[in-house]
Chain A
Amino acid sequence: GNSVTQMEGPVTLSEEAFLTINCTYTATGYPSLFWYVQYPGEGLQLLLKATKADDKGSNKGFEATYRKETTSFHLEKGSVQVSDSAVYFCAATAGNKLTFGGGTRVLVKP
């Protein structure tokens, strides 16, 4: 089956720092890829997605590019804010279900 691996946290950053969270996947076929975010006390929300190779998903200053050659979907943001503190999950579809990475907790300090 599919699997998703993402870097373990926690990741602690200062405000305006650059953020990268690595994500790689193994899959049969060509899955769609997603980043979900879970803010403290809230449910999972879709942050961005990409449905085919070389697609770039972007939202709220975050970006991720679907790299088939490296089976990766790394999340980046150029200048983080305190409000970006959350747990970030990389996910891939396998048929009709999502397979999630383990989540990466990000803490942004003022």
Chain B
Amino acid sequence: GAGVSQSPSNKVTEKGKDVELRCDPISGHTALYWYRQSLGQGLEFLIYFQGNSAPDKSGLPSDRFSAERTGGSVSTLTIQRTQQEDSAVYLCASSQDRGTHNEQFFGPGTRLTVL
């Protein structure tokens, strides 16, 4: 595709429910990243994929958060037993390869609201 796409664009859920957020990276990009943007915490790194493996999961805030990537393409971020503090915009980014100089292209984000 032309850019990184994410779905849904908005998700409202009740506390305690599970949610899945999807990211479609730019075709051919091997690296994929999840970030979270919230009022209190700014932009935080969550997890990084190189291909289908996740060498850096250091930003996942708790074991309720997990992510996978299949076929070196689509990624899903799952939040189990959602809490109100999970409310945020979840951003996905991709880049051509790993490395510090490669530009990360961001998707429009999924706005998650936990009631």
Interface residues in chain A, defined as those with a beta carbon under 8 Å from any beta carbon in chain B: 31-32, 34, 36, 42-46, 49, 51, 89, 91, 93, 95-103
By a CB distance below 8 angstroms, the chain A residues around B109 are 43
Shortest Cβ distance from B3 into A: residue: A43
Contact with A along B89-115 (1 / 0, CB 8 A): 001010000111101111111000000
From A89, A97, A102, contact of B48 by CB (8 A)? A97
Q: Is the CB of A98 within 8 A of B103?
A: no
Determine the distance from Cα of A43 to Cα of B105 in the docked complex, in whole angstroms: 10
B56 proximal to A (CB < 8 A) = yes
- B 31-56 contacts with A by CB, 8 A: 31, 33, 35, 42-45, 48, 50, 55-56
Q: Is the CB of A98 within 8 A of B45?
A: yes
Identify 11 new A-B residue pairs, CB closer than 8 A, beyond the known A96-B31, A98-B43: A42-B108, A43-B107, A43-B109, A44-B93, A45-B106, A95-B56, A95-B100, A97-B59, A98-B93, A99-B45, A103-B43
How far does the Cβ of A25 sit from chain B's closest Cβ, in whole Å? 13
A-B contact pairs, 21 of them (CB 8 A): A32-B101, A36-B106, A49-B103, A89-B43, A93-B100, A93-B101, A95-B56, A95-B100, A96-B31, A96-B33, A96-B55, A97-B33, A97-B45, A97-B48, A97-B56, A98-B35, A98-B45, A98-B93, A98-B104, A100-B42, A101-B42
By a CB distance below 8 angstroms, the chain B residues around A99 are 45
Shortest Cβ distance from A29 into B: residue: B100
Q: Is the CB of A103 within 8 A of B42?
A: yes
How far does the Cβ of A106 sit from chain B's closest Cβ, in whole Å? 16
